[in-house]
Amino acid sequence: MQWGWDGDGGGFARARRQHAGLPVPIKVPPGGEHADFRANSGGPLAVKPWRMLSLDRLAWEAHVEACGLDQPPPRHIRSWIYRQIVDKPPLKVFLCSPRSFCAGVVRAIDTVERALALYGPPVYVRHEIVHNRYVVEGLKAKGAVFVEDLDEIPDTKAPVVFSAHGVPRSVPAEAARRGFFALDATCPLVTKVHREAEIHFRRGREIMLIGHAGHPEVVGTMGQLPANAVHLIETIADAEAFVPKDPQKLAYVTQTTLSIDDAAGIVAVIKARFPNIVGPHKADICYATTNRQEAVKRVAPVVEAMIVVGAPNSSNSQRLKEVAERAGCPYAALVQRSSEIDWSKFGSIQTLAITAGASAPEVLVEEIIDAFAARYAISVETVSAIGEDVFFPLPRPLRDIEAAE
């Protein structure tokens, strides 16, 4: 092994995070005085930063022998390595667990990818399959075509996928009228809320839906029933002002991605006003939302800042940021990529928490950690709220094809 350019720029950060007792690959900056070393080898540049106490030649030679390197690095490379490792301020990073994809998101993405594998492109998807630009762009590159309305889709035999957030009844009805091969990737936990609302309606109950106006899930839930059958309640003030037709015939359901505490406050007001109101047999806020918020609550009081990886139109990601702030974190930021980090907000912090919304892939968490590792000497600890092992099968048409294979 020789000293030279390591093409894997993220290897250094990953190895430091893992605290491995093995050589750590480092990316030497391109150009200038290091060009000759890159040209003379393609092998990785390796050091053990937690064991490197000095730059004296004897120490380096001992390290070189231990790592199986051919020769120690020249002094200017030693100095650069030392600056990269030793001169960085320390930063303790708490990784919240669980984080990133939930079972419903995995099912939705797998639905599009499986349809592409079986039928080839194009596969049409109504609305973003999940609220994450990285995921959407990745599926576009594979041949998915995203639209906001079925009117944008030409007459076709290609699959048409409904997003994880659910759709009003009018959408599958229109798809059937036009003869589309529709695949419903609605999260089963959202479908559960749809079925609850339908049952309440059939039993003559007026329905209160706790949620956020305009969110696709709320639009889909309200669209399961005739106009004015469902009343949207966004705030405690809405709950206090609502006047039902018959206080004895009331029910409520909720959006699955709400803040647990916000929803609890609204439900408390509703139950105090209408003691006989009928609620869900099991909480509508989904397990993934609950678990990710619980993990954030555990670390928020003990860190100086928190990064939530997620999209601004992701309800569950926005709620994580709000939960962090309310739980005592001095500064919380919602970012989609490392390029969005405002480094002036972090300065000389010594503790940081990182989590990700249920629609944000883990690769973006890795990217954020790499960005901090480039500026800080990081150590990482995982804070777990609860384990997750939930799995949802693909839509039945895709399962039937798999069974036939």
Q: How far apart are CA 48 and CA 290, in angstroms?
A: 40
Both tokens assigned to 343: 């480094």
Alpha helical stretches, state H, 145-214: 170-177, 188-202
State the virtual CA torsion across 220, 224, 229, 231 in degrees, nearest 10. Answer: -20
Pairing of strands 24-26, 45-47: antiparallel
Both tokens assigned to 87: 């001169």
User: Among candidates 315, 372, 314, which has minimal Cα distance to 95?
Assistant: 372
Query: Which residue shows structure tokens 């093409």?
Result: 7
User: Among candidates 251, 261, 153, 259, which has minimal Cα distance to 207?
Assistant: 251
State the virtual CA torsion across 54, 60, 64, 69 in degrees, nearest 10. Answer: 110
Q: In what order do the strands lie in the sheet with 250-254?
A: 230-233, 206-210, 250-254
3-state SS, residue 307: strand
The DSSP-derived string for 198-229 is HHHHHTT-EEEEES-TT-HHHHHHHTTS-TTS
Both tokens assigned to 133: 């630009």
Q: State the catalytic residue, choosing from 217, 322, 325, 381.
A: 217
- The DSSP call for residue 340 is G
- The H or E element spanning position 255 is none
33 is catalytic: no
Bridge partners for 183 per DSSP: 161
Both tokens assigned to 222: 């309200």
**Residues 1, 70 contacting (CB under 8 angstroms):** yes
**Residues 108, 165 contacting (CB under 8 angstroms):** no
Positions marked catalytic: 217
